[in-house]
C-alpha cells in the first residue's frame, strides 16, 4: 500500500505530532509514503533525516484552485492508494481520485468539509459523538487512538536535571502536560498542590491560557513551585524525573498521556473525565479524582507521594495495561487495517 499525507498545521500541536509518529511508524512497517506538508518549523528536516519522502508545499495557499492543481500533480506522480489529509484546511483541497481519501476530523468541522473523503478518523470520542449527532454516517467514522511516543525507536534518555528547572533535590515532583486552555484544569492542580508542602509542579505544553495559569500560580502564592516548560515533543526526560503524573482536566476525552505515563513507569492520577475514566480502573492502575475538586485531588496526590508501595502498585498495573492493550505493533496495525478497509470503497 502507498500512502500520501497532506498537512498544513502549525509549528506544534497534537495533529502535528501525530503525522510525524504515524509516518515514521508506517515507514518502519514497510509502507511506502509521500508527505506533502506546509513549511512549518523544523518538521520537514526531522522527517527527511528518517528516510521519508517529504515535499514542502504552501498550504492551503493563496488560491484554492492552484493548491488543488499542485496536489493533483503530486498525486498523479506518486499514485497513492490512500491520501490522508490531516487538517480541515487541506481536506477540502483533496479531490476524489484513484485513491481512498481519509481525513483526520478537526475540531468544529462540518460534514460538508469531508464530502470528498471515504473515511474520517479521530482520537476524540466527543468529536465522533458530535459528528454522529449531526448526521454523519457511522460506517465512515472511526475512533482510533493517537500513537504514543514509544511506537518510535529512540535513544535511551536520562532524567532532566532538576537544577535546570530550579527544583530542589528533596522536592517531590508532580508532572502534567497538555494544551494550556481552561478545560485542562491546570488551575485546579495548582490549587491542589498549594495545600501540600515540598511539592513542585512541572507543566509541559502551550496554549491560549498560559498567561492565565501563570497569573493563577502567582495569585495562589505558588509561582516559586510551578514550572511552565513549554511545548515538548519528547516528554520522557520529564517523566523520568517526576514522582507522579496528574491529569486535572475539567473536560478531557483523551487518554494518550495516561498511556505515556504508564509506559514511563509512573503512577497516574486523573480526574474522572471521559478519556481517563474509560481507561483507569480506580485504585488499580491509577486513581480517579472528582472533576474540579482541588481538595480531593490534593488528598489523592498526598496519599500516593506518601505511600511508596501504593505508588509502585499503581505504576506496575499501568505498565501491565500498556503491554496488554497498547503495544506499538497493535496500534500501528489498527491504522493500517482502517486504511485498507477503505481502499475498495
* Fold equal for 2-148+328-343 and 162-324: yes
Q: What pLDDT shows up at residue 115?
A: 77
Grid cell, residue 161, equals 536535571
Q: 2-148+328-343: CATH homologous superfamily?
A: Glycogen Phosphorylase B; (3.40.50.2000)
- Residue 345 has a pLDDT of 60
Domain layout of the chain by residue ranges: 2-148+328-343, 162-324
Kindly give the parts of the chain with pLDDT less than 50: none
162-324 CATH, one of 3.40.50.980, 3.40.1580.10, 3.40.50.300, 3.40.50.2000: 3.40.50.2000
Distance CA 221, CA 273 (A): 28
Helix, coil or strand: residue 139: helix
Handedness of CA 130, 136, 138, 144 (dihedral sign): negative
pLDDT given at position 34: 97
Radius of gyration of the chain (CA): 21
Distance CA 333, CA 158 (A): 30
User: 117-133 burial, b for 16+ CB within 10 Å, e for fewer?
Assistant: bbbbbbbbebbbebbee
pTM score: 0.84
Query: What pLDDT, in 10s, does the model give residues 64-77?
Result: 888 889 999 999 99
pLDDT attached to residue 59: 87
Mark out the alpha helices in the chain (DSSP H runs).
14-28, 43-48, 64-78, 88-91, 125-133, 186-193, 210-219, 236-241, 256-263, 274-279, 294-306, 308-325, 328-343
- Rounded to 5°, the CA angle 120-79-66 comes to 75
pLDDT of residue 230: 95
Instruction: For residue 317, count other CB atoms closer than 10 A to its CB.
Output: 18
Cα 124 to Cα 36, 105, 139: the distances in Å are 25, 9, 17
pLDDT at 274: 87
**What pLDDT, on the 0 to 100 scale, is given for residue 205?**
94
Amino acid at each position: 500500500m502507498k500512502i500520501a499525507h497532506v498537512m498544513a498545521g502549525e509549528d506544534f500541536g497534537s495533529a502535528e505530532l501525530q503525522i510525524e509518529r504515524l509516518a515514521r511508524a508506517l515507514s518502519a512497517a514497510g509502507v511506502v509514503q509521500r508527505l506533502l506538508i506546509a513549511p512549518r518549523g523544523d518538521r520537514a528536516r526531522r522527517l527527511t533525516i528518517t528516510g521519508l519522502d517529504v515535499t514542502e508545499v504552501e498550504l492551503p495557499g493563496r488560491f484554492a484552485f492552484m493548491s488543488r492543481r499542485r496536489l493533483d500533480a503530486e498525486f498523479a506522480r506518486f499514485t497513492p492508494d490512500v491520501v490522508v489529509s490531516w487538517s480541515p484546511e487541506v481536506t477540502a483541497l483533496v479531490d476524489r481520485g484513484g485513491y481512498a481519501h481519509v481525513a483526520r476530523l478537526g475540531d468544529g468541522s462540518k460534514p460538508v468539509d469531508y464530502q470528498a473523503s471515504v473515511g474520517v478518523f479521530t482520537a476524540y470520542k466527543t468529536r465522533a459523538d458530535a459528528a454522529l449527532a449531526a448526521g454523519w454516517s457511522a460506517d465512515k467514522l472511526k475512533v482510533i487512538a493517537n500513537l504514543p511516543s514509544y511506537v518510535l525507536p529512540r535513544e535511551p534518555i536520562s532524567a532532566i536535571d532538576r537544577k535546570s528547572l530550579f527544583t530542589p533535590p528533596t522536592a517531590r515532583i508532580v508532572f502534567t502536560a497538555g494544551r494550556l486552555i481552561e478545560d485542562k484544569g491546570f488551575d485546579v492542580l495548582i490549587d491542589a498542590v498549594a495545600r501540600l508542602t515540598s511539592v513542585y509542579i512541572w507543566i509541559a505544553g502551550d496554549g491560549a491560557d498560559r498567561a492565565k495559569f501563570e497569573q493563577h500560580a502567582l495569585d495562589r502564592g505558588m509561582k516559586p513551585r510551578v514550572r511552565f516548560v513549554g511545548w515538548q515533543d519528547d516528554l520522557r526526560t520529564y517523566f523520568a524525573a517526576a514522582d507522579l503524573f496528574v491529569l486535572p482536566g475539567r473536560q478531557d476525552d483523551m487518554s494518550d498521556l495516561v498511556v505515556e505515563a504508564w509506559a514511563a513507569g509512573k503512577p497516574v492520577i486523573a480526574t474522572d473525565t471521559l478519556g481517563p475514566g474509560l481507561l483507569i480502573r480506580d485504585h488499580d492502575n491509577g486513581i480517579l479524582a472528582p472533576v474540579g475538586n482541588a481538595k480531593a485531588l490534593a488528598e489523592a496526590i498526598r496519599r500516593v507521594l506518601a505511600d511508596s508501595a501504593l505508588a509502585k502498585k499503581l505504576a506496575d498495573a499501568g505498565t501491565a495495561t500498556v503491554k496488554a492493550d497498547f503495544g506499538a505493533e497493535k496500534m500501528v496495525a489498527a491504522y493500517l487495517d482502517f486504511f485498507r478497509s477503505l481502499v475498495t470503497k
